[in-house]
Amino acid sequence: MEVLKRYVSNRVITIGAQSSSNSRLKELARGHNITDIEQAVEIANNHGFLVNLDFIIGYPDESREERECTIEFIKKLRRKHRIKTQLHFFFPLPGSSYAHRFPSFLTQEEKEHLMKLKRSGISRTGWMV
């Protein structure tokens, strides 16, 4: 972060958090866990950067509880750190382990809750389908 701060003019860092579920992150072979996400945010904030976190909503077989945990994790981080989020709706990518899997769909209540996050400025969304 010291080197980055010295050589870039922007003060926003985007981190591909992807999920707030350690088991999902492991399944995706992301190489990080939720503790790593929070530590990265804290380090970036301490060096003067605002952090933009990317999360994916609607993974195959994602439960309503997993989505609620993601929303609660975002709120927790927001209370403690300077963050914004981008919520993307799952889309299967060729060559990925989820290439031939279908997304989970959000309830109307969940969509409304996510829109509330957007209206409050906490999240930009790309999840509406």
Within 8 A by CB and 6+ apart from 18, the residues are: 24, 25, 28, 30, 54, 55, 56
Structure tokens at 18: 């992807």
Tens-digit pLDDT profile for the chain (129 aa)?
999 999 999 999 999 999 999 999 998 889 999 999 999 999 999 999 999 999 999 999 999 999 989 989 998 999 999 999 998 889 898 988 899 999 998 889 888 888 888 888 878 776 554
Could you identify the residue written with the tokens 């609660």?
Answer: 72
The domains of the chain, with CATH numbers, are 2-126 (3.30.750.200)
